[in-house]
Amino acid sequence: MRISLGTDHAGFLYKEAIKKMLTEAGHTVHDFGTFSTDAVDYPDFIRPAALAVARGEFDRGIVLGGSGNGEAMTANRIIGVRCALCWTLETAELARKHNDSNVLSIGARMISEDLALAIVRRWLEVPFEGGRHVQRLWKMDHPE
Q: Tally the domains of the chain.
A: 1
Longest CA span, the chain: 44
Q: Which of 71, 129, 133, 142 is catalytic?
A: 71
Identify the CATH number of the domain in which residue 46 sits. Answer: 3.40.1400.10
State pTM to two decimals: 0.96
What is the per-residue pLDDT across 80-112, written as a single tens digit (0 to 9) for each?
999 999 999 999 999 999 999 999 999 999 999
Catalytic annotation present for 133: no
Question: How far, in Å, are 16, 57, 59 from residue 12 at the CA level?
Answer: 6, 23, 21
Tens place of pLDDT per residue across the chain (144 aa): 999 999 999 999 999 999 999 999 999 999 999 999 999 999 999 999 999 999 999 999 999 999 999 999 999 999 999 999 999 999 999 999 999 999 999 999 999 999 999 999 999 999 999 888 999 888 887 877
Catalytic annotation present for 71: yes
Burial 18-35 (b: 16+ CB within 10 A, else e): bbeebeeeeeebbbbbbe
Q: Which of 93, 98, 129, 133 is catalytic?
A: 98
Work out whether the CA dihedral 108, 112, 114, 120 comes out positive or negative.
negative
Domain housing 55 = 2-141
